[in-house]
Amino acid sequence: MIVHQMRATYVVLGSRQGVELLSVAARADLELRQRRGGGGIVVLDPGGLWVDWWIPSTDARWTPDIRAAALEVGEWWRAVLADQVAGAVSVHTGPVAGAVEHRVVCFAGRGPGEVFVEDHKAVGLMQWRVREGALISTQIPSQPAARVLDWLATPPPGLASHLHHHTVGSLGLGDPDAVVAGLAVQGGPWVIDIVDHPAT
């Protein structure tokens, strides 16, 4: 279980996205990264909750079923958030949903295992798989993803109306350490690694 601590803001593109999605000004001003997993743009800010699980293919918790793995991690988050937030907490169990053109931003769509509170996305999820195992990455952002609209070269029509999601603040998670502690006992035991991402 890997807990990431951000000291700066990074804009992370999905594996199939190119920098041409962003305006020239945004490319110059933002700290850009690209992940190996698919999906849309994710913004990683200080104060967000970014938690990954690396599950080796030799581990009893590993499954070749991508959807089942996502749903299991979503249930870990659901169990923890149900005790800490107001409102109904649910896991999206269906297929990837949302207009294709809006999936340019992760938090505009729905995917298996992603967690919702009162029908607004709270936890985004993506996977990266290799022969050695699966990395399942999850995040509750600290800031609204609507900022991405100002960075896109050509924002898709209607995208803004699909970027209403929860943040650490809107969920009232005043003690992120308690969330991490709750996750650490879900599906465990885990070796826990804290990774600090310093400002550049």
The answer to whether the bond into 189 is cis (omega within 30° of 0) is yes
Taken in order 165, 171, 175, 179, the sign of the CA dihedral is negative
Give dist(CA 86, CA 120) in Å, integer: 13
The pTM of this model reads 0.94
Domains of the chain listed by start with CATH number: 2-197 (3.30.930.10)
pLDDT given for residue 44 in this prediction: 95
Give dist(CA 169, CA 121) in Å, integer: 13
- One DSSP character per residue, 115-179 reads EEETTEEEEEEEEEEETTEEEEEEEE-SS-GGGGGGTBSSPPTTGGGG-----TTTTT---HHHH
pLDDT band at 186 (very low <50, low <70, confident <90, very high): very high
pLDDT band at 19 (very low <50, low <70, confident <90, very high): very high
Give dist(CA 183, CA 197) in Å, integer: 21
Count CB-CB contacts under 10 A for residue 179: 22
For the stretch 157-166, pLDDT in tens is: 999 999 999 9
pLDDT band at 32 (very low <50, low <70, confident <90, very high): very high
Give dist(CA 127, CA 95) in Å, integer: 15
Q: Is 27 exposed, middle or buried (0-12, 13-18, 19+ CB in 10 A)?
A: middle
pLDDT given for residue 99 in this prediction: 86
Angle of helix 176-184 relative to helix 66-82, nearest 10 degrees, comes to 130
CB half-sphere exposure, 127, CA atoms < 13 A: 22
- Can you read off the two tokens belonging to residue 148? 């991405």
> What is the average per-residue pLDDT within 164-172?
96
> What is the average per-residue pLDDT within 56-67?
96
